[in-house]
Amino acid sequence: NAGVTQTPKFQVLKTGQSMTLQCAQDMNHEYMSWYRQDPGMGLRLIHYSVGAGITDQGEVPNGYNVSRSTTEDFPLRLLSAAPSQTSVYFCASSDPGFGEQYFGPGTRLTVT
């Protein structure tokens, strides 16, 4: 039981490049979400999903896309990276109905 896994751990992009951050969980959780963490800003919700085929926007969705084709996977796509997207990204999963959230180890992204 690996819990929530994220790849890569570190990534450096140039402005304008695109990439996908991967997130997978093996706990059969319906709810998955993506956060970004910036110094002094806490965790800000980017997108979330309540089940396969269902996604919704969080607090800061601009510049990011998500899809949820399976229960296990919830990738986050950066379409055209900008320096403002330099951050640490966390994926989390939980049971529905206000469940405890399990976080992945994070991806540290730098956009130059």
Q: Give residues in contact with other proteins (CB under 8 A).
A: 31, 33, 35, 40-45, 48, 50, 56, 58-59, 90, 92, 96-98, 100-106
Query: Judged by CB, which is closer to other proteins: 53, or 96?
Result: 96
The C-alpha atoms of residue 91 and residue 99 are separated, in whole angstroms, by 15
Query: Judged by CB, which is closer to other proteins: 11, or 102?
Result: 102
> How do strand 107-111 and strand 10-13 relate by DSSP bridges?
parallel
Q: How would you class 8 by CB atoms within 10 Å of its CB: exposed for 0-12, middle for 13-18, buried for 19 or more?
A: exposed
Whole-number minimum distance, CB 100 to other proteins, in Å? 4
Query: Judged by CB, which is closer to other proteins: 5, or 15?
Result: 5
Whole-number minimum distance, CB 92 to other proteins, in Å? 8
**By 3-state DSSP, what share of the chain in percent is helix, strand and coil, each rounded to 5?**
5, 55, 45
Whole-number minimum distance, CB 31 to other proteins, in Å? 7
